[in-house]
Amino acid sequence: MPGDPLRSKFIAENFLENARLVNNVRGIQGYTGSYKGVPVSVMASGMGMPSIGIYSYELYNFFGVDNIIRVGSAGGTSERVKIRDVIIGMGACTTSNYAVQYNLEGTFAPICDYELMTAAIEEAKKIGASYVVGNILSSDIFYNADPTAREKWTRMGVLGVEMEAAALYMNAAYAGKRALAICTVSDHLLTGEALDADARQNSFTDMMEIALGVAVQMSEK
């Protein structure tokens, strides 16, 4: 699940065999095809936790999906990552109130599925991708009025900020399913470096190959 429908289209056209459009409600662009003989679907999630919260919930609970891998972009917040690095999100901190619905007596820690994560690390090594594994931040805010917010998360070891993973991880946990977020660093909040929109849409192929490789591994188990 990429956030951008055009990235969904790019993956379908460049990686899947016999890809066909199966869902275009609200322009979300969902395709089904195969990768190395394994059936794979790719569908956009839209932007933000409310959007991926709806789509991933329906996929898990109404359409029998067991594994969802988010492939998206992230802003780097750590010296440990650089532009175009792949971040494998072991955990997803969040500024969202998404977990309030579960009425928990405490703070839920959204984490990925271990099996998907270890498969992703194996695939990253296989293709020689530059990757880092660690904590990411799923934020509800893109333009933050607090100029010190980034520094606080950097101090806590957060590698990058994006806007969807925590809701995906919580939906997976509640449904008893698997989830993983793999993000490419598209801009860096420490150095000011940034890639343009076309590069973000079409050139982040390492994370796409990693995710598809994970799909193949899961089909063999």
Active site residues: 187
Residue owning tokens 């490419």: 184
Closest by CA position to 137, among listed 168, 162, 117, 154: 162
User: Residue 90 forms beta bridges with which residues?
Assistant: none
Q: Identity (one letter) of the amino acid at 213?
A: G
Q: What is the dihedral of CA 111, 10, 82, 70, to 10 degrees?
A: 0
φ, ψ of residue 31 in degrees (nearest 5): -125, 150
Q: In what order do the strands lie in the sheet with 30-35?
A: 17-23, 30-35, 38-43
Structure-block tokens of residue 58: 């329906």
